[in-house]
A and B are shown apart, each in its own frame.
Chain A
């Protein structure tokens, strides 16, 4: 017997290893079926082993990059500054027009009883690694539960959404990208207003499902989040349609090119708090019957003359609207009552969710990592993110 074992020790080792791993697989499949939330010590140990080394690489690279960028590669900064000033002037002019549009939109939203979602707080995080496999579209970020990150929080960049937080450890988090086949995002086609679900494919592509084959979807149409998944706030860019063909079933096969480059991510924002509230119409003027009709009937747009100081003038009489905003937060966070939105009368219109992300991303990039997340919200006041 002993000779038998000695003679076949290699085969027996192999068999034992395979059987143990297959049993492990079976247990995991069963556990996931039972609870729906797999948790595995091996995941935790491996991440704790690998993440510090990856962080070391990333921080060394960042230090070298900072030295190069701040002290050596300064050529062209003056020209870039002049270009940016020109862009700023153009944006200021455009902003006046948008203020008027926003005023009108807010009145109509109030009339229709809409509730809006705003990104209230974000944390900047650095991408420190991937799953290392093209079968699992996962990235690791250097923020974890110590920084207030929780599972199912949205992860975005100024260009578009990235994915959601899957698992969280103390100082690292696992993010499931939108091109993974197990992900799903509520989506809205901006032009046609059709809603569907954005999913990943086994090949790592992004597709939009659940759009009926008789609907018309154009190539190049922008896809944004619909807010229906309760993870991503409404209005964040997902990508653009690259192909829309009839499928085998009753739905269209719609391929999407993600707005964010999912293959090359360095810094991302984790949305730690989303605000939900009704639009505020104080200082906008009364809600008139004409406004209600305007919301329901087509009309000739009125030419508006922007005032010299950029202050938006509310149409109608001097009596102000009385709608008091109500709000609630999700992502398991609470906000003190004194943070209720109070739009500034001088600047009542505010940027969209996407532009808010861009603004906060630029701010966060220059914010040191050590600052506590709660003390440095991406958007200090909620009104900064009103679309």
Chain B
């Protein structure tokens, strides 16, 4: 699990075809909404957040990472009956931080991806919790055990998912 610090010039920046850039986030949201009706345990994964992280660290552009996070998060919000903006804000922050990190760190090896996703998942939940409790006044609880377990599960999923999505990368 080595995280190599590299100069900005040494880090590859990738782009994606339009069908992939649009289709993958939509597919992630559909899977997140539909699969739990058949396989309950899938609810522990946050595919939209994982896709946000992947595109953000691959493009390495904080502005586009933020916008992508906002769009995906707002769509997630719209499928719940809660206020629109809770997932939006959390994913916006993740998109920004992930792309900022992608500029500075090599995030292409599985070890760094595992650690990165673990940290981002916990950060995502913290932002969501803070906004939901502090700004909106929702009654939600924080269970460290559940959050750590879910972070580990998402990190493992990220290693697999990112390896699959790597096939769609186009080097600029």
Residues of chain A at the chain B interface (Cβ within 8 Å):
9-11, 13-14, 17-18, 21-22, 24-26, 28-29, 38, 40, 42-43, 45-47, 49-50, 53-54, 57-58, 61, 127-136, 138-140, 166-167, 174, 176, 180-182, 202-203, 263-266
Contacts and interface: CB of A to CB of B under 8 A. Distances in A.
Interface stretch (B6-14, B59-67, B109-117): B59-67
Q: Which secondary structure dominates where chain B touches chain A?
A: helix
A314 B138 CA distance: 57
Contacts of A176: 81
B81 A174 contact: yes
Given A14-B93, A180-B81, 14 more contacts: A13-B62, A13-B63, A17-B67, A28-B84, A50-B30, A50-B33, A54-B30, A131-B79, A132-B80, A136-B82, A174-B81, A182-B81, A202-B141, A203-B141
A47 B83 contact: no
A274 B40 CA distance: 32
B78 A130 contact: no
B96 interface: yes
B53 interface: no
B70 interface: yes
Contact of B86 (A25, A53, A127): A25
6 contacts: A11-B62, A21-B70, A24-B84, A29-B83, A40-B84, A132-B80
A49 to B, nearest CB: 7
Contacts of B70: 17, 21
Q: Which of A21, A139, A181, A265 has the most CB of B within 10 A?
A: A21
Contacts of B136: 25, 29
B99 to A, nearest CB: 8
Contact of B139 (A11, A28, A202): A202
A17 B81 contact: no
A46 B37 contact: no
A57 B87 contact: no
A135 B82 contact: yes
B77 A42 contact: yes
Interface string B16-48: 000000000010011011101110100110001
Contacts of A9: 63
Contacts of B83: 25, 28-29, 38
